[in-house]
Amino acid sequence: MKIFKSIICGLVMCLTVSCQKYLDIVPDNVATVEYAFRMRVTAEKYLFTCYSFLPKMGDMYQNPGMFGGDELWLSADKTWWSNWVVALGNQNVNNPVLDYWNGANAATALWMGISQCNIFLENIQQVPDMDDREKAQWAAEVKFLKAYYHFFLLRMYGPIPIIDKNLPISASGEEVRISRKPIDEVFDYIVNLIDELAPDLPNAVRDENSELGRITKPIALGMKAKILVYAASPLFNGNADYEGFANSDGTPLFNTVYSAQKWEKAAAACKEAIDLCHSLGYDLFDFEGSQQTRNISEETRLHLNARGTLTERWNPEIIWANTGSTTRELQVWAAPRVLEASHIGNQEPNGSIGVTMKVVNLFYSKNGVPIDEDTEFGYVERFALRTSTAEDKYRIKEGYTTSRLNFDREPRFYGTLGFDGGVWYGQGRFDDEDPYYLQIKKEQIGGKVQVGWHSVTGYYAKKWINYTNTSVNTGTYTTVNWPWVMLRLGDLYLLYAEALNELNGSNDESIRFLDLIRAKAGLEGVVESWTAHSRNPNKYTTAEGLQEIIRHERGIELALEGERFWDLRRWKTAPEELNQPISGWDVDQVTAEAYYRERVLYNQTFALKDYFWPIRENDLIVNKNLVQNPGW
Q: Where are the beta strands (DSSP E) in 446-572?
A: 459-461, 470-473, 476-478, 483-488
Size of the chain, expressed as the number of residues it contains: 632
Query: From CA 389, how far away is CA 399, in angstroms rounded?
Result: 6
Query: From CA 565, how far away is CA 66, in angstroms rounded?
Result: 8
Which residues form the domain of 315? 268-622
Considering only residues 331 and 171, tell me which one the structure prediction assigns the higher pLDDT.
331
Please give the biggest Cα pair distance in the chain.
77
Helix or strand or coil: residue 565?
helix
Q: Tell me whether strands 483-488 and 318-326 are parallel, antiparallel or unpaired.
A: antiparallel
Query: Is 70 exceeded by the pLDDT of residue 122?
Result: yes
- Residue 611 forms part of a structural domain: yes
> From its phi and psi, is residue 207 left (phi > 0), alpha (psi between -120 and 50) or beta?
beta
Which parts of 342-456 fold into alpha helices (H)?
A: 357-362, 411-416
Burial 384-395 (b: 16+ CB within 10 A, else e): eebebeeebbbb
CB 585 within 8 A of CB 441: no
> Percent of the chain having pLDDT more than 90?
90
Confidence of residue 175 (pLDDT cuts 50, 70, 90): confident
Rounded average pLDDT over 165-182? 90
Query: Is 60 exceeded by the pLDDT of residue 26?
Result: no
332-383 per-position pLDDT tens digit: 999 999 999 989 988 899 999 999 999 999 999 999 999 999 999 999 999 9
Q: What confidence score (pLDDT) does residue 475 get?
A: 78
- Residue 250 forms part of a structural domain: no
Which parts of 3-67 fold into alpha helices (H)?
A: 8-11, 17-23, 30-36, 40-51, 64-67
Rounded average pLDDT over 111-135? 97
> Percent of the chain having pLDDT more than 70?
95
Considering only residues 200 and 13, tell me which one the structure prediction assigns the higher pLDDT.
200
Confidence of residue 83 (pLDDT cuts 50, 70, 90): very high
Highest mean pLDDT pick, 3-7, 12-16, 413-417: 413-417
Query: From CA 173, how far away is CA 623, in angstroms rounded?
Result: 10
Rounded average pLDDT over 97-111? 97
391-412 per-position pLDDT tens digit: 999 999 999 999 999 999 999 9
In three-state form (DSSP H/G/I as H, E/B as E, the rest C), the secondary structure along 506-531 is: CCHHHHHHHHHHHHHCCCCCHHHHHH
492 closest CA partner among 265, 274, 333: 274
Query: Is 50 exceeded by the pLDDT of residue 317?
Result: yes
Give me the CATH number covering residue 469. Answer: 1.25.40.390
Query: From CA 413, how far away is CA 73, in angstroms rounded?
Result: 18
Query: From CA 139, how far away is CA 117, in angstroms rounded?
Result: 9
Q: What confidence score (pLDDT) does residue 346 get?
A: 87
Mean pLDDT taken over the chain: 94
Q: What confidence score (pLDDT) does residue 124 get?
A: 98
- Residue 360 forms part of a structural domain: yes
Rounded average pLDDT over 442-466? 96
Rounded average pLDDT over 498-510? 98
CB 8 within 8 A of CB 19: yes
Query: Taking the CB of residue 371, how many other CB atoms lie within 10 A of it?
Result: 22
Q: What confidence score (pLDDT) does residue 171 get?
A: 86
- Residue 361 forms part of a structural domain: yes
Tell me how many domains the chain contains.
1
Cis peptide before 349 (omega within 30 of 0): yes
- The CA–CA distances, whole Å, from 631 to 82, 92, 216, 256, 627 equal 21, 11, 39, 18, 12
Query: Is 50 exceeded by the pLDDT of residue 14?
Result: no
> From its phi and psi, is residue 619 left (phi > 0), alpha (psi between -120 and 50) or beta?
alpha
Q: What confidence score (pLDDT) does residue 275 get?
A: 98
Q: Return the amino acid letter for 463.
A: K
Question: At what angle are helices 508-520 and 543-557 packed, to 10 degrees?
Answer: 30
Query: From CA 532, how far away is CA 528, in angstroms rounded?
Result: 6
Query: Is 80 exceeded by the pLDDT of residue 426?
Result: yes
Confidence of residue 42 (pLDDT cuts 50, 70, 90): very high
CB 456 within 8 A of CB 584: yes
Rounded average pLDDT over 259-278? 98
Query: Taking the CB of residue 442, how many other CB atoms lie within 10 A of it?
Result: 16
Confidence of residue 24 (pLDDT cuts 50, 70, 90): very low
Query: From CA 543, how far away is CA 505, in angstroms rounded?
Result: 4
- The CA–CA distances, whole Å, from 88 to 315, 561, 602, 630 equal 36, 20, 8, 20
Confidence of residue 321 (pLDDT cuts 50, 70, 90): very high
Cβ neighbours of residue 307 closer than 8 Å, sequence gap 6 or more: 415, 416, 462, 463, 465, 467
349 closest CA partner among 368, 365, 329, 364: 329
Q: What confidence score (pLDDT) does residue 174 get?
A: 85
Query: From CA 298, how far away is CA 309, in angstroms rounded?
Result: 17
Confidence of residue 172 (pLDDT cuts 50, 70, 90): confident
Query: From CA 346, how far away is CA 359, in angstroms rounded?
Result: 29
Query: Is 90 exceeded by the pLDDT of residue 612?
Result: yes
354 has which bridge partners?
A: 73
- Residue 553 forms part of a structural domain: yes
- Residue 105 forms part of a structural domain: no
Q: What confidence score (pLDDT) does residue 21 get?
A: 32
Query: From CA 308, how far away is CA 315, in angstroms rounded?
Result: 9
Cβ neighbours of residue 552 closer than 8 Å, sequence gap 6 or more: 362, 370
Query: Is 90 exceeded by the pLDDT of residue 34?
Result: no
Rounded average pLDDT over 295-308? 97
- Residue 3 forms part of a structural domain: no
CB 306 within 8 A of CB 412: yes
Q: Return the amino acid letter for 162.
A: I
The pTM (predicted TM-score) of the whole model is 0.95
Q: What confidence score (pLDDT) does residue 11 get?
A: 40
Confidence of residue 78 (pLDDT cuts 50, 70, 90): very high
- Residue 152 forms part of a structural domain: no
Query: From CA 325, how far away is CA 57, in angstroms rounded?
Result: 7
The secondary element (H helix, E strand) that includes residue 567 is helix 563-570
Q: What confidence score (pLDDT) does residue 618 get?
A: 97
562-572 per-position pLDDT tens digit: 999 999 999 99
